[in-house]
């Protein structure tokens, strides 16, 4: 490669880079950025987001924070040997070695292969130990180059043999971490303690799929750990790592011969239907790294158990919640389904809401009454009469506003079906989509609103899920996902919505809307406080999304209460990034250099209503940041409701000022809440710093 993956300037030895993993990640991102290979803010933000999905602490006292990021201009590896070690939530304590893999968003195949080789080398204890003993940055670079680019690496007495870089786990077997003690029999390949004895036909065969969100590190390390655990235990394990460097699929013969399947993934399995009917063990990818022998043992036990859960033979979909070895219970499953529905719904909300707001800007608020009729019956050659508040009093602007409004209304019409449909998808994968969409559409027709959409989505999902548990004759299996499940699922879910649930839920929704419309005084302020606390409690997480869902699904231009709720939610959601930006500007010495840079970017994020702009700060110091943000958000929500700010747009922050009534009240609420939150977090951080200095 013209530019090497790692150079001495990307190596930091025996350094104190902070006491938390967020501080270390931010510092290493700064080292990579200082070499001109990335933007520090963007890289640290993306790496922390990836860390939040699953900790990167590994067996053996090292960590591999990594991400694919648009902030990376040159794929790079930053290396830090820490003193003192820092907790990365590894299974055996703090990490003293940190490898930060920074891959460009569109990284070429060659670079991704190099990063993959490094990840696989890290499971070899001898390689990690040589890095601990390296005396200078050049030695570290030579060691790593001997793994990722053995042909180009300069000879070095400290370098690992190039053979250790072989990516094929069948050729080079990394040592398995000693989380579970092996017996002498284990080492001789006669079966691990507690395992069923292999049958007389020969070795038990297990196939596995590993995958992590970025497809760089955990994907390949988990594959190597499982393969080696199988070899140690006398079990034939073949793995398909579905990673960034491409997937080498398991052969049909390997799958046919397999006695059981392991899915160690944090994302969906590609081609899951290939494994239909096989006993299956499922968990996150991290478990395959931490407990590979246990997973292989569970797979062998499932192969011998006629009652073990299997990948559904009807559609290839999975029985995810109850699988032997699964770590996903029904409570978590329901939460994931609801968040899936909200996530897929939000684009419709944002597009529809902003288009409607633009319709008001161009055509005036009267467009809500006759905008659809104008869009259908007028053209630029047949302009309508201008509305009273059209931009510039122009007929052309009235027509343009009507078109914006009509398109926005069309997008908004998908809000309830999308919410319900993707809740169904979250429960039953593809078979749940059609019943969920139908139930969501009926929720809109009957007036059941977002409560009806949620219940309809759950109904459709559970009905479809029940069908995936069936084992029909082979001739019927092909019809199940494309005919039987959509037909019966839609009929049952839709029929229940019409006949049983629609009217009671519509009455409940009407009561809620009437309450929103009649809110005033203390009740409005209390609701504003609750919504403000929710918006700032987890910065884009489930609680934040629940408050946003409540606001957006009740948003209606004819309901003044719903517009006030939307304004309070948006204003409170702007507070965390703005407050952290203000705090870093007022007391910069309380923050690391990278945090100060994040603070600069947070001004724009906060103004745009992107609460996630405060996540790097909350991840680094949650006990001081999150409570401060919640207080500020509660103040903002209460003020917004008390002063009567109202927003017809569901997103956009200050940039949709034209769609916010009493904009002065909206801005005042945001400013006051921001100052309160910034003041609190600054006081708490300053107090902690003084206490640390006093005890030093």
The CA distance from 657 to 649, in Å, is 9
Q: Are 310 and 319 in contact (CB under 8 A)?
A: yes
Q: Indicate if the alpha-carbon torsion angle 19, 22, 25, 29 is positive or negative.
A: negative
Q: Name which of 409, 506, 407 is nearest 456 in CA terms.
A: 506
The CA distance from 637 to 635, in Å, is 6
Known catalytic membership, residue 66 = yes
- Our CA dihedral for 438, 345, 545, 634, rounded to 10 degrees, sits at -110
**Which residue out of 212, 218, 318, 536 is catalytically annotated?**
212
213: number of Cβ within 10 Å? 17
Task: Please give the angle made by the CA atoms of 7, 13 and 19, to the nearest 5 degrees.
Answer: 120
The CA distance from 160 to 118, in Å, is 12
Known catalytic membership, residue 536 = no
- Our CA dihedral for 130, 136, 138, 142, rounded to 10 degrees, sits at 0
3 state SS of 91: coil
**DSSP characters for 384-443?**
PPPPTT-GGG-HHHHHHHHHHHHHHHHHHTTHHHHHHHHHHHHHHSGGGHHHHHHHHHHH
3 state SS of 62: strand
Task: Please give the angle made by the CA atoms of 539, 542 and 544, to the nearest 5 degrees.
Answer: 45
**Which residue out of 12, 45, 66, 205 is catalytically annotated?**
66
Q: Are 325 and 298 in contact (CB under 8 A)?
A: yes
The CA distance from 30 to 11, in Å, is 12
Task: Name the β-bridge partners of 280.
Answer: 261
In angstroms and rounded to an integer, the radius of gyration of the C-alpha atoms of the chain is 28
Helix pair 415-428, 433-446: axis angle to 10 deg: 150
Residues annotated catalytic, as ranges: 66, 212
């Amino acid at each position: 490669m013209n530019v090497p993956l790692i150079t001495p300037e990307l190596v930091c030895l025996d350094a104190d880079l902070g006491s938390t993993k967020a501080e270390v990640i931010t510092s290493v991102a700064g080292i990579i950025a200082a070499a001109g290979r990335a933007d520090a803010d963007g890289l640290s933000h993306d790496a922390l987001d990836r860390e939040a999905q699953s900790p990167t602490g590994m067996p053996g006292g090292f960590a591999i924070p990594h991400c694919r990021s648009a902030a990376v201009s040159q794929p790079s590896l930053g290396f830090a040997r820490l003193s003192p070690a820092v907790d990365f939530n590894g299974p055996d304590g703090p990490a003293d070695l940190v490898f930060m893999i920074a891959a460009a968003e569109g990284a070429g195949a060659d670079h991704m292969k190099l990063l993959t080789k490094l990840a696989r080398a890290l499971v070899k204890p001898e390689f990690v130990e040589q890095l601990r003993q390296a005396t200078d940055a050049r030695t570290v670079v030579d060691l790593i180059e001997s793994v990722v680019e053995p042909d180009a690496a300069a000879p070095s007495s400290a370098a690992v043999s190039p053979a250790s870089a072989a990516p094929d786990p069948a050729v080079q077997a990394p040592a398995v971490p000693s989380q579970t003690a092996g017996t002498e029999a284990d080492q001789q390949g006669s079966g691990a303690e507690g395992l069923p004895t292999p049958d007389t036909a020969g070795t038990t065969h297990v196939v596995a799929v590993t995958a992590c969100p970025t497809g760089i590190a955990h994907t390949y390390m988990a594959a190597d750990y499982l393969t080696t655990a199988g070899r140690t235990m006398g079990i034939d394990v073949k793995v398909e790592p579905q990673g960034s460097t491409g997937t080498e699929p398991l052969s049909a013969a390997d799958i046919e011969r397999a006695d059981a399947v392991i899915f160690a993934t944090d994302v969906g399995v590609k081609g899951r239907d290939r494994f239909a009917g096989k006993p299956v063990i499922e968990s996150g990818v991290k478990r395959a790294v931490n407990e590979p022998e246990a997973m292989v043992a569970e797979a062998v036990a499932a192969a011998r158990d006629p009652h073990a859960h299997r990948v559904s033979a009807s559609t290839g979909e999975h029985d995810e919640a109850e699988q032997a070895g699964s770590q996903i219970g029904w409570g978590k499953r329901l939460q994931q389904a609801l968040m899936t529905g909200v996530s897929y719904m939000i684009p419709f909300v944002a597009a529809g809401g902003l288009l409607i707001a633009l319709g008001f800007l161009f055509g005036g608020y009267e467009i809500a009454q006759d905008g659809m009729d104008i869009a259908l019956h007028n053209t630029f050659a047949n302009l309508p009469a201008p509305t009273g508040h059209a931009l510039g009093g122009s007929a052309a602007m009235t027509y343009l506003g009507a078109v914006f409004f009509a398109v926005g209304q069309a997008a908004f019409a998908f809000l309830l079906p999308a919410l319900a449909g993707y809740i169904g998808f979250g429960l039953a994968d593809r078979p749940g989509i059609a019943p969920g969409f139908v139930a969501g559409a009926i929720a809109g027709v009957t007036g059941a609103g977002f409560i009806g959409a949620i219940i309809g989505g759950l109904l459709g999902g559970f009905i479809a899920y029940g069908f995936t548990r069936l084992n029909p004759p082979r001739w019927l299996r092909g019809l199940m996902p494309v005919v039987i499940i959509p037909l019966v699922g839609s009929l049952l879910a839709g029929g229940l919505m019409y006949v049983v649930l629609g009217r009671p839920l519509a009455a409940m929704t009407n009561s809620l809307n009437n309450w929103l419309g009649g809110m005033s005084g203390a009740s409005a302020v209390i609701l504003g406080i609750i919504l403000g606390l929710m918006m700032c409690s987890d910065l884009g997480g489930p609680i934040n999304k629940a408050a946003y869902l409540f606001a957006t699904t009740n948003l209606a231009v004819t309901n003044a209460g719903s517009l006030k709720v939307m304004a309070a939610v948006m204003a409170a959601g702007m507070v965390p990034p703005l407050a952290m930006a203000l705090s870093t500007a007022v007391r910069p010495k309380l923050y690391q250099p990278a945090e100060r840079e994040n603070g600069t970017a947070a001004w724009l994020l906060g103004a745009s209503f992107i609460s996630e702009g405060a996540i790097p700060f909350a991840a680094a110091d949650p006990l001081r940041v999150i409570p401060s943000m919640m207080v500020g958000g509660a103040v903002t929500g209460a003020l917004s409701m008390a002063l009567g700010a109202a927003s017809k747009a569901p997103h956009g922050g200050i940039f949709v000022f034209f769609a916010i009534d009493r904009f002065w009240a909206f801005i005042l609420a945001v400013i006051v809440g921001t100052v309160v939150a910034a003041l609190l977090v600054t006081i708490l951080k300053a107090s902690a710093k003084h206490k640390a200095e006093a005890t030093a």
